[in-house]
Structure formats: structure tokens, C-alpha cells
Structure 1
Amino acid sequence: MTMNAAAGMKKMSAKELAQIVIDRAEWFILDVRNESEFNDWKIEGDKIEFINIPYFEQLEGVDSVLDKIPQHKKVLVVCAKEGSSKFVAEQIVEAGRSDIYYLEGGMKAWSEHVEPVKIGDLKTGGAIYQFVRIGKGCLSYMVISDGEAAVVDTSRMTEVYEQFAQEMNVSIRHTIDTHLHADHISGGKKLAEKTGAAYWLPPKDAAEVTFSYEKLNEGKEIAVGYTTIKIQPIYSPGHTIGSTSLMVDDTYLLTGDILFIASIGRPDLAGKAEDWVQDLRNTLYKRYKELSDELIVLPAHFGKGSELGEGGRVAARMGDLFRMNPGLNIQDEAEFRRTVTENLPPQPHSYQEIRQTNMGKLSPSEEEQREMEIGPNRCAVHDK
């Protein structure tokens, strides 16, 4: 964190904030966005307190704000893009307070920060890494073996994978989407084109795509490196008709948006909730039940900070999820149908446009892509 000499305040990067959330450190956040923006999406953590006082209420001064800010806690001021938070933070510092920070790049930067963490080793010497997009709740993966890598459910910030692959001295040979995403823009096709990798997509989700791709079908084995490590697709519809889980090294199950740590996937983002409910139930209650309880489940999203484990990892044993995940414990089929079709959280912002973009039908600018993705992850049933 660096000092701003002119104002005496300090700036914090999204990476530094991510570490605060992961470490469960105590902070106080003053969010100066409009109330509707704050209510829709905010920075959350186990020991983070926050208050929302819109910027326009502070234009005449921050005197009314000072008594609402704890005296003995570090304070982070947050806005959408940075400018308003810098102004408010400077006013608070001038009023005599210390330990006042503003978020560099605002919530836009928070939405785009991706933090790589190691999940574990593979049996023949490789490793699997999780890329935690902590502000958006998105999770992606890199499987590494013998100088090669496969990236799964790539975010649109493809540079983070290229840089990590360079640091690990591996070449990206495959990019894979477990399904056609609706809450974020996939970087899978873009990363494949930049690295010369093959791009894989379930064909049942690809009926309207405008580009060529490799078909991610059950029974297909995608080798990574020259060892016996393979990524094995398992057809698991419900969130989308093509949703496909990936078995890696007989140890890890990448479940896409079908199964999360604290919830299950919603079936309504393509407008076919009633049609896909039975598929979802069959995948969760039959297909997954046939798999080993010892598998480590690695989802494509998380909903709340409480799902972050040690070091920011999001993972759980399959057996533990069958005991603890509410979405896996609805025995009555009618109740299950109601749960996944009624009273769901709001649908993701611009999800139709995001789906169209992931099909190749729209080509939004970088700034338009940022705006389309702003907001929380909303792929789960229980994220209300």
C-alpha cells in the first residue's frame, strides 16, 4: 500500500484487498456508491464491517460521516471506479483521521482481480491450481503436467493464465468450458487463439455458436502432458443441457455450475427451468451419487465468503457435500422442483447478452464487457 503525499491517504489494490478477505482480517468499509448498487453487490468478508453512505450525501463535507466510522479500525473507502472514494477519503484524512484507504480502480478492479491458489498435486507429478475471482465469485482452473496445461472455465482476463503458465514454464494446450456460461464472459476461445490451444465446449450447449470448437463429449479423454493424467468428461446436465463435469486424475471433480459448496446450480438461465429440473435432479442425486465420496469437488463459482477455505481455496469432499449441502438433501421431488424454479435470486446482469457473446454472436468492447459482468455471481439456487 502506497502513500498519496498530496492527501495523506493511502491506496489499496484489489490484490491486497483479496488477501484481507482471505486472511479474515478486521476492516471497516465505507461504500460511497448509490444505495441500489451497494444492495446489489458489495465487498464481504468474515470480519469486514461496512456502511453505505452515497457520495452525493458527502459533497458538502464528511462531518456527519465521521461519527459512523470506528476510531480504532482501518477504513477502506470504496466506489465504482475510484474517483469518488479518493475524494471522500481525502476529506476524512483532512478531518484528522488516519488509517484511511481508498480502493484503487474501485469495484471494477475488485470484479476483475483473479488470485491463483494451489489445490493439490496429481499422482504422477503434476498439479491443479484454482484461480479465484474473489469479487465476482468465479472459479477457474489450470491442470499442469509435464510442461503442458489445460485451463478450465477461463475468465475473460486471459493474461493471468498466460502469465502463470509462463511462470510455471508450461504451454497451454487446451482450454475447456464446462458449459455455455451466462454470468460471465468466457475467455476460453480467446485464450485458445492466443496460445494455439484447442478449445473444448459441450456440443449440446453449442447449437448456436458461430465458431469451430472441439466437442467435449462423455468418454472423451483429454491428455495433459505425456503422463497418464487425463481429464475425463462426465455428462451432467441441469444447469444447461450440455453441462459436463470433468474428472481429473481420479481425484478431483470439476462440477462447473451444477454443484457448489453451499448450493446447487439453477436451471433457469436459458429459459428452460421446467424442462431441465429432472436433468438437474438426476445429475445430483443419481449420477454424482455413483461417484466416490472421496472426490474433491471443485465448482466454477462460489456464493459467499464463508465458502473460502484456507488460502482462499474453494473445495470440499463429495461425501461431505452429500451430508451438508442443502441442495443435495431435498428428498421430495416436488419440493426439489419448487426449490429450483421458484423464488430464485435475481438473474445475472446482462445474462442474455453474455450468452450471446459466448456464442460469438456479439462482440462487445472491453468496456462493454466490464459493464456486462458487473455484479455478483448468481448461478446458484441458495444465493439469496
Structure 2
Amino acid sequence: MAVTAWNAADVAKRVIEKKDVFVLDVRNEDAFADWKIESDSFTYKNVPYFDLLDGVEELVPELPKDKEILVVCAKVGSSQMVAEMLADEGLDVAYLEGGMKAWSEHLEPVKIGDLPGGELYQFVRLGKGCLSYMAISNGEAAIIDATRMTETFTSFAEEKNVTIKHVFDTHLHADHISGGREIAEKTGASYWLPPADAEEVVFDYEKLTDGTSVAIGETTIGINALYSPGHTIGSTSFVIDNRFLLSGDILFIDSIGRPDLAGKAEDWVGDLRETLYTRYRSLAEDLIVLPAHFMIMDEVQDDGSVQEKLGVLFKENHGLNIENEEAFRSLVTENLPPQPNSHQEIRQTNMGRLNPDDEKKREMEIGPNRCAVKA
């Protein structure tokens, strides 16, 4: 029978469309338990590759006959070999090109809405839970929270025939490597970073402070900065066109940001509460919240986007509804998930103090997103 190669975009399409796929993951059990392709419509079976070296005959009866079967491994070699073995046993199967490394790096652009003279796009990194943005107006573009897959953004700008003028990071990231500075260097754009997060950086940048307003496309739309500390001391949100709130890692759809990735949980939990319960409460409730991450697939809508009105989150997000300050402090400081893989090295890389090669960067980022606190 046939063996088919699926790329990450093929898998992303099936995740977004909620297709019924059976995933045979042949990585080690601990790797599978830590991180896998997430979809509510997928079913999974984990059988380490080394357990299949003597053949797949005993496995075949356990595989469905009425679903697409996708074999997954870390890079690609093991899954391709297992897929070929299953095909020899009479099954139609696919394997994931590039494995989980490719899945981690895939970005799916989704249009969020129209802007005067342009559009706002969200780039969804399904395999890592990262969300990046590109605001376009009258031939110019601004990028917010770009990942290290910089070619995706520059190619998209070329496709849209726009010039990248500004690149922003809402904070100094600790879970993934930013592509902001690299994009700015490639395109001549201005690179903006909150100075409170940038005390140790070794490169020049534009200081992103509370009230900073940057025009895109002949002043048609404004990107307005709102100082919103708590995840980091410099965390900054953006209000775009008075319609969209880009909340960085402060507020997510189903959770709130964690304050400890620079080792400051007890110090910054008060800042986090002040941002969520005072600064954000002063904003219009019809703003569309667009976070820099999502934690679970339930946060991804049918069109592949991650968004919700601020007023809805005030009602439904538990992290915004803890009246007692001590209870809030306990929730945030006592329910912290494990810290992201290599988070200290990632922060040092985003400061410009480390310069790992591409393969090392991939290794540093492997694993699930862990930027939120969930009750």
C-alpha cells in the first residue's frame, strides 16, 4: 500500500479543520508524554521506535481501518521507516516530514480583521503555542512578537507587497527565540523593546515605553503601547486601531501569565494583578484580546485564530475573577508549571549574549509552551 509524506502545513490544516486522524508516535514515552501534536479530533498511540525494530505485525491489528494514520517521530527517519513497514503490511499511512521539529516551527497565517488601508494577521504556531502578528496599512507593516522563523514574515510581507517598517517585542521572551531583531536588521525596520526588560541586551533598539504611539501607513492606524508588567517587569501591551488588544504574555484566553521566568514570582505577582485588575479594567470591553500564546487547543477557534473580547474574559477567565488578593497571590505562586526548556539560555539569546546556531536554537525550543498559570 501507499506511503505519503505530510508536511507541517498538511497537519495544521487537519488540526484546524478537526479531521479525524490517528497518530502513531514512535518517540520515547517521556518525549511523547511531555509534548505531542495537539488536537481534540486526533487519537494517539505511542509505541517507541525501538520496540518496532523486529517488525510491526503485532501492531497492525491495533490500528484503525477507517482513519488516516500519521506516523510521527522527532526528526523524520524513524517515522518514515515505520510507515514503510506498515505499508508493507497493507496499510495506507503517512509520515510527518521533518518530524516534531518541523511541527514546532510551522506558522499558520490567519486573517484577524481589516484595518484602515490594510489588514491584521495572526501567525499561529500550533506546535509551540506561540502567536505573532503583522499589522498592514497602505503599503507598510509592523510585526509584533515574531518567532525565529523570520523568512515566514518577510516572505508574507513580500507576498502582500508591503514594507516592514517596525518590529516589536512585547517583552524579553524566555520560552522561544525572538526573530524581531533579525527581521529589523534584514529590512532596515526599527526594532522596539521595553527598556526595563533590556538592561542586559548588547544591541541598539528603540525604547518602547508607556504611551509610545507608532503610526503605520501614513498615520492611518496607530499602535499604542500600554505598560503592563507582571509576566516580566517590562511587559508591554498594544492597542491597535482602538479595536485590538495585543496582550503579550500577560493575559491569555483561558489563563493568565506567569511571573517567574526571570526568578521574580513573589516580586512581580503584585504587578501582574495591577495590570489585570486595574490597567486592563480601564480599557474598553469590546477590545479583541490577541495574546502572544495559547495553552490548549480549546482556545483555537474554528478559523484557526485565537481571540476573544476583553469583556468576555472578564466574565469567564478565572484568573480575572479572584477578588481576594492573597488568594490571587497563592494561585499564581503555587500553581506554576515547569519552566520552559532552556529558558535561561533563550533569554540570553534574546539579549544578544548567546549566538547559537540554527540546530541549537531548535533544540532549545523543543517542548510545550509553559508561559501561563491555570487554576
TM-score by length of 1: 0.96
Compute the displacement of 1:343 (Å).
Answer: 3.1
1:49 is matched with which residue: 28, 43, 54? 43
Q: Is the 8 A contact 2:335 2:374 kept in 1?
A: no
Deviation at 1:227, TM superposition (A): 3.2
Query: Any idea what SS the aligned residue of 1:28 has?
Result: strand
Deviation at 1:306, TM superposition (A): 1.2
Mapped partners of 2:48, 2:257: distance in 1: 34
- 1:269–1:347 CA contact under 8 A, matched in 2: yes
Structure 1 portions without partners, runs of 5+: 1-6
Q: How many residues align?
A: 375
Alignment pair present for 1:162 and 2:136: no
Distance in 2 (CA, whole Å) between partners of 1:320 and 1:289 is: 12
Residue 172 (structure 1) aligns with: 164
Task: Describe the superposition over 1:80-132 as per-residue Cα deviations: whole angstroms up to 9, x where unpaired.
Answer: 0010001111111111112x10001100000000111100012x222110011
TM-score by length of 2: 0.99
From 244, 248, 251, give the equivalent of 2:243.
251
2:141 to 139, 149, 165: 149
In structure 2, stretches of 5+ residues that fail to align are none
Which amino acid letter does the alignment assign opposite residue 164 of structure 2? Answer: I
Q: Give 2:102's aligned residue.
A: 109
The residue aligned with 1:59 is 53
Q: What is the alpha-carbon root mean square deviation over aligned residues?
A: 1.0
The alpha-carbon deviation at position 15 of structure 1 amounts to 0.3
The residue that corresponds to 1:121 in the other structure is: 114
- Find the partner of 1:93 among 87, 98, 103: 87
Q: Distance in 2 between matches of 1:371 and 1:84?
A: 18
% identical aligned pairs: 62
SS where residue 233 of structure 2 aligns?
coil
Provide, for residues 273-312 of structure 1, a one-character-per-residue CA deviation record: whole Å limited to 9, x for no partner: 0000000001001110110110000000001111111321
Q: Distance in 2 between matches of 1:382 and 1:25?
A: 28
In structure 2, what is the equivalent of residue 242 of structure 1?
234
Task: Please name the residue that 1:140 is paired with.
Answer: 132
Partner residue in 2 for 1:83 = 77
CA contact (8 A) 1:146 1:227 kept: no
1:26 corresponds in structure 2 to 20
Task: Give the Cα separation in 2 of the matches to 1:132 and 1:335.
Answer: 33
One-letter code aligned to 2:109: P
State the shift of 1:332 in Å.
1.6
Alpha-carbon distance in structure 1 between the residues aligned to 2:67 and 2:169: 42
For residues 68 and 35 of structure 2, the distance between their equivalents in structure 1, rounded to whole angstroms, comes to 22
Instruction: Give the whole-Å Cα distance in 2 for the aligned partners of 1:363 and 1:104.
Output: 27
Q: Is the 8 A contact 1:264 1:380 kept in 2?
A: yes
Query: Which residue of the other structure, out of 337, 342, 358, is the alignment partner of 2:329?
Result: 337
The one-letter amino acid of 2:112's match is I
Query: Could you tell me how far 1:338 is from its partner in structure 2?
Result: 1.3
Q: Secondary structure at the match of 1:63?
A: coil
1:196-220 CA distance string (max 9 Å, x none)? 0000000000011011100001111
Residues 255-274 of structure 1 mapped to structure 2, 5 A cutoff: 255-274=247-266
**For 1:311-322, what aligned pairs fall within 5 Å after superposition?**
311-322=303-314
Q: Counterpart of 1:139 in 2: which secondary structure?
A: strand
Which digits, 9 at most, give the CA deviation of each residue in 1:178-202, with x for residues without a partner?
A: 0000000000000000000000000
The corresponding residue for 1:289 is 281
DSSP 3-state at the match of 2:277: helix
Rounded Cα–Cα distance in structure 2 between residues aligned with 1:186 and 1:48: 30
CA contact (8 A) 1:237 1:283 kept: yes
Deviation at 1:64, TM superposition (A): 2.2
Which residue number in structure 1 is paired with residue 214 of structure 2? 222
Structure 1 Cα separation of the partners of residues 48 and 104 of structure 2? 20
Instruction: Name the SS of the counterpart of 1:310 in structure 2.
Output: coil
Contact 1:81 1:106 in 2 (8 A): yes
Q: Residue 228 of structure 1: CA displacement? A: 3.1
Matched position secondary structure for 1:174: strand
What secondary structure is seen at the aligned counterpart in 2 of 1:50? strand
Q: In structure 2, give the amino acid aligned to 1:182.
A: A
Hey, what's the Cα distance between the residues in 1 that align with 2:125 and 2:368?
A: 11
- For the 8 Å contact 1:10–1:101, the answer to whether it is kept is yes
- C-alpha distance in structure 2 between counterparts of 1:356 and 1:92, whole Å: 44
- Does structure 2 conserve the Cα–Cα contact (< 8 Å) formed by 1:201 and 1:213? yes
Report the residue type matching 2:258 in the other structure: R
Name the CA distance, whole Å, in 2 between partners of 1:343 and 1:203: 29
CA distance in 2, matches of 1:340, 1:279: 12
1:215-251 CA deviation, whole Å, 9 max, x = no partner?
Answer: 0011111111103311000000000000000010000
**Residues 259 and 265 of structure 1 are in contact (CA less than 8 Å); yes or no, is this contact kept in structure 2?**
yes
Cα deviations by residue, 1:111-160 (Å, 9 ceiling, x for unpaired):
000111100012x2221100111111000000001110000001000001
